[in-house]
Chains A and B, each alone.
Chain A
Amino acid sequence: MTVASVEARPAPTPERSADRRRHRAWRVLIGQAPGARKCGGPSDDAADYRLFRAGRAPFVVVACADGASSARNGGAGARIAVAAAIDSVCAAARRAPRTPPVAAAVIGSVVRALGAEADRQRVPFRSLATTLSCALASPRWTWVLQVGDGATAIRPAGGAAWAIAAWPERGEYANSTHFLTDDEVRWQSSVGPSASALAAITDGLVPLALDLAGRRAFAPFFDGIASELAAHEPAELAPHLALLLRSPRVTDRTDDDVTIVIAVRAAAHRRVPHAPA
């Protein structure tokens, strides 16, 4: 019997590709767990981030994606969408650090990357169906791009309240949404003030992280994670986030894959050692 793997990745280095311009202005933590309905199979979610400099200023981009499990290669689609979105956003910011990326151009790059993968693997384009939630923070503004039913939340600098920058977009029914492989990609994108924290989640976490009737972020969820991340190194926290995501508190509420990638501005962080358990 396979035991469901749970993954929560800390930042091993501020940027995976060796980049001399890396920085430590943000702390980023990824938490993922495959849903119980996968019966031990792999998660079809993907998540990643990148810390980089553009015009000497520190930027962070976070992204997560939920590959359609009804599509044969949804998990691959999710990984490609996340990687392509981060590359595209990062390149755009380096070209023009003062201006937020053009959403249509990023969507175009991601769709082309999915198309190239479909050609390479000789599989139908739609078999790579996936959603995407992506957020980029510059020192001056925050930019968000989303396709489908994940969510993207921002805590504006100087404010305490989390705001949902991209709300899950669904069809009428709880089990219908939009994908990057649709004929016409339905995306939402916005630019807001500079952020002190940002998070992207896939739909498995939506009922636990958003107040759906009130149409707002459920602050205790985001604050609970962000406050720990502000105080501790991601590497210390990763196993604990993994434990939380596979605990009955989560699995009793959802049997879908769950993913969160969350970043907090680290400028004022203090090291607070953990009390032993």
Chain B
Amino acid sequence: MSINLPFGAVEFAANPEPRCPCVLVLDTSASMAGTRLQELQRGLAQFRDELVGDPLARKRVELAVVTFGGKVRLAGDFTAVEHFEPPRLQADGLTPMGAAVRTALDLVRARKQVYRENGIAYYRPWVFLLTDGEPNDDWHEACVAVREVEHSRQAALFAVGVGEANFDVLRQVSVRQPLQLRGLMFREMFQWLSNSLKSVSRSGTTEEVPLLNPATPEGWAKV
């Protein structure tokens, strides 16, 4: 628009985009070795590509990765999707899921503090937990922490079980119905997650975000 026309010279404020934080909490215990981990790794790469391909999600979604296999690792702290490099996953050791969930909740809390200090608006953070076994650490504390953040709407946790995952435990950790991955449909699962994050990241203040049901007959999950 020419600046000779009315309003051609109107300037706009350059505010930072609102952020949509998501932590992936991934089981990398020894039982994940082999095809499971390979498929998960492929799914992660596709997840990144899908989000980078979306103009708003690219600017708004921030990803962090916590892995738990033997010990809990911060495999990638929060970063904008466009700078996100999927970490190389390696299967090893037992399943300290309780500690991993608590680490994720701490990450979310710290990230929100950074947003607040910088005047950045944000969406409700998501914690996306994926496991194929059962925790070998004290996970009850994590249950209490999850209930607390869910109750006060500080974060939303989604739990997905793969293979022989212990669903009795997952049902206690997650306030929402945990989902069982159909086969090794990691790519479909990440497709759903990226679509959901795209929807959230473009939702306005006056919208509720409807999520697609992943547990349809063709979906990636069973309940």
On A, residues with C-beta under 8 Å from B are 35, 37, 44, 66-71, 74, 129, 131, 148-149, 170, 172-177, 179, 203-204, 207-215, 218, 220-221, 224-225, 228, 232, 236-237, 240-241, 243-244, 247, 249-250, 253, 255-256, 274-275, 277
Bound CA span A212–B122, Å? 13
Pick the residue among B10, B15, B206, B209 that contacts A207 (CB under 8 A). B15
Say yes or no: A175-B207 contact (C-beta < 8 A), given A209-B12, A213-B15, A255-B202. Answer: yes
Contacts of B9 in A (CB 8 A): 224
Do B7 and A224 have beta carbons less than 8 Å apart?
A: yes
Pick the residue among B6, B15, B153, B206 that contacts A172 (CB under 8 A). B153
Contacts of B6 in A (CB 8 A): 228, 232, 236-237, 240-241, 274
Bound CA span A253–B204, Å? 13
Bound CA span A276–B121, Å? 42
Minimum distance in angstroms from B43 CB to a CB of chain A = 27
Contacts of A228 in B (CB 8 A): 6-7
Q: Does B87 touch A at the CB level, under 8 Å? A: no
Say yes or no: A44-B206 contact (C-beta < 8 A), given A173-B123, A175-B123, A244-B7. Answer: yes
Number of B interface residues in the complex (CB < 8 A): 33
Contacts of A210 in B (CB 8 A): 13, 15
Do A243 and B206 have beta carbons less than 8 Å apart?
A: no
Interface centre among B2, B5, B13, B202 (most CB of A within 10 A): B13
Minimum distance in angstroms from A54 CB to a CB of chain B = 32
Bound CA span A204–B206, Å? 10
Would you mind naming 11 contact pairs between A and B with Cβ atoms under 8 Å apart? Answer: A37-B204, A69-B206, A70-B206, A175-B200, A203-B206, A212-B16, A213-B15, A220-B11, A232-B6, A236-B6, A277-B4
Q: Does B89 touch A at the CB level, under 8 Å? A: no
Say yes or no: A175-B204 contact (C-beta < 8 A), given A208-B12, A237-B6, A240-B7. Answer: yes
Pick the residue among B4, B11, B153, B205 that contacts A149 (CB under 8 A). B205
Bound CA span A255–B200, Å? 13
Among B96-151, those with CB < 8 Å from A are 118-124
- Additional A-B contacts beyond A69-B204, A208-B12, A256-B204 (16; CB < 8 A): A173-B121, A173-B122, A175-B207, A176-B205, A204-B204, A207-B15, A209-B12, A212-B119, A220-B11, A220-B12, A221-B10, A225-B10, A240-B5, A243-B5, A255-B202, A274-B6
Say yes or no: A175-B203 contact (C-beta < 8 A), given A70-B208, A240-B6, A244-B7. Answer: yes
Do A68 and B2 have beta carbons less than 8 Å apart?
A: no
Bound CA span A228–B204, Å? 30
Bound CA span A218–B10, Å? 11
